[in-house]
């Protein structure tokens, strides 16, 4: 996700995103704690109500500087990692989480206490089934020079950013017949069957 925190939101506690089931019970959330300059990830637990972890430090603190930033959250079975502006920040161990219902709601930018909308700018928000796909996102849109029109927007071509995982990129050769692909390969088979 690419975002810009507004000055009035840098002191508040709010959900950057929250996914709830169709009855409104929270399943997964990433919240911003303005006073502590931290981010909290929570998920419905397998063995208890909720499991979570907190990300702190200078990398997270940089989000509050009134500039554009890119956040990549990678959630695996037993670890949650965060990258800010294409730089690794931290990984935290994570207790077993429960299944997430595919029928529900996704909320972006809600006050933790009141549930009212929070004012911030968002340029892009994407959820991938594969954490590695999220890592292939570019950071050129937050650079002062922007993205070159002819340049590939993969992380491997962003100036000044080192990328050790670029060998996992997936590229398709151009086809004469237009085709569409999802970035969530777990859906590819089900889409072909319909």
Is 0.95 surpassed by the pTM of this model? no
In this prediction, residue 40 carries a pLDDT of 97
In this prediction, residue 146 carries a pLDDT of 72
CA distance linking residue 118 with residue 114, whole number of Å: 10
Contact 15, 116 (CB under 8 A): no
In this prediction, residue 139 carries a pLDDT of 75
What lies within 8 Å, CB to CB, of 150 at 6+ separation is none
Mean pLDDT of 35-46: 94
DSSP code at position 97: B
Gyration radius from the chain CA atoms: 18
Residue by residue, DSSP assigns 107-125 as: EEEEETTT--B--EEEEE-
Measured CA to CA in angstroms, residue 122 lies from 4, 85, 89 at distances of 6, 14, 21
Contact 169, 153 (CB under 8 A): no
In this prediction, residue 50 carries a pLDDT of 94
Interval 55-112: pLDDT, tens = 999 999 999 999 999 999 988 889 999 999 988 999 999 999 998 888 899 999 999 9
CATH 2.60.120.260 matches 2-127? no
Contact 142, 159 (CB under 8 A): no
| Every domain of the chain and the residues it spans | 2-127, 130-194
Confidence of residue 14 (pLDDT cuts 50, 70, 90): very high
């Amino acid at each position: 996700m690419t975002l810009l925190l507004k000055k009035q939101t840098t002191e508040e506690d709010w959900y950057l995103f929250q996914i709830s089931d169709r009855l409104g019970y929270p399943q997964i959330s990433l919240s911003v704690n303005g006073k502590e300059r931290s981010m909290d990830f929570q998920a419905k637990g397998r063995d208890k109500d909720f499991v979570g972890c907190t990300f702190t430090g200078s990398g997270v603190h940089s989000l509050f500087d009134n500039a554009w930033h890119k956040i990549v959250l990678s959630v695996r079975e037993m670890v949650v990692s965060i990258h800010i502006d294409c730089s690794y920040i931290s990984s935290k161990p994570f207790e077993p989480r429960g299944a997430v219902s595919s029928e529900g709601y996704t909320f972006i930018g809600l006050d933790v206490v009141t549930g009212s909308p929070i004012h911030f700018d968002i340029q892009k928000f994407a959820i991938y089934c594969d954490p590695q796909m999220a890592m292939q996102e570019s950071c050129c849109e937050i650079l002062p020079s922007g993205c070159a029109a002819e340049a590939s927007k993969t992380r491997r071509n962003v100036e000044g950013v080192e990328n050790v995982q670029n060998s996992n990129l997936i590229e398709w050769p151009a086809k004469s017949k237009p085709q569409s692909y999802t970035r969530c390969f777990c859906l590819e088979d089900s889409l072909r069957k319909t």
